[in-house]
Chains A and B, each alone.
Chain A
Amino acid sequence: MRQYELMVILDPETEERTVGTTMDRFLAVITKDGGTVDNVDIWGRRRLAYDIKKKSEGIYTVVNFTAEPATAQELDRQLNLNESIMRTKLLRPGA
């Protein structure tokens, strides 16, 4: 088991209220494989430093979780497949 930090930029056209449930749906894979979601921090709408997919805003979310490496990779893969997710970053803090 390892600790991970995941940052996700969501499309600004998605409703800000539904972000929590959207993220929960993706994070279900962690708990299913025996990991734990430690903290979910929704930053909300934020201006991007440069345009991504012709959009100048994004909804930022930071998630801390503990999971097996394979599970973390699978979560990142699933996130990248989704159209409404503009960018992700999966890091191990302190590594």
Chain B
Amino acid sequence: MAKPVVRKPKKKANPLKAAKVENIDYKDTALLRKFISDRGKIRARRVTGVSVQEQRLIATAVKNAREMALLPYSSSAR
């Protein structure tokens, strides 16, 4: 029987720790822009490398920022 290939996912450095961010604020668009794609979509956790709890805070912050027109809902880059 062939041995199943177990791939160890590479642990990403937490970008929030690197930037020394304690609370995630929807007004901090410069920070939130790191967590959205160039089309304006929220990046997945496996891409961003933050914890589950932090990802949730980021998602709500992005959504609040979108409501206040600080971030785009979608930007048609193409």
Contact = CB atoms under 8 A, between A and B. Distances in A.
Interface residues of A, number: 12
Contacts, number: 25
Interface in A21-80: 48-50, 52, 58, 62
Interface of A is mostly: strand
Interface of B is mostly: loop
Nearest to A52: B69
Given A62-B27, A94-B23, A50 B69 contact: yes
22 contacts: A7-B27, A7-B68, A9-B68, A9-B69, A48-B69, A49-B66, A49-B69, A49-B70, A49-B71, A49-B72, A49-B73, A50-B69, A50-B72, A62-B27, A87-B67, A87-B68, A87-B69, A89-B64, A89-B67, A89-B68, A91-B64, A94-B23
Interface of B: 23, 27, 64, 66-73
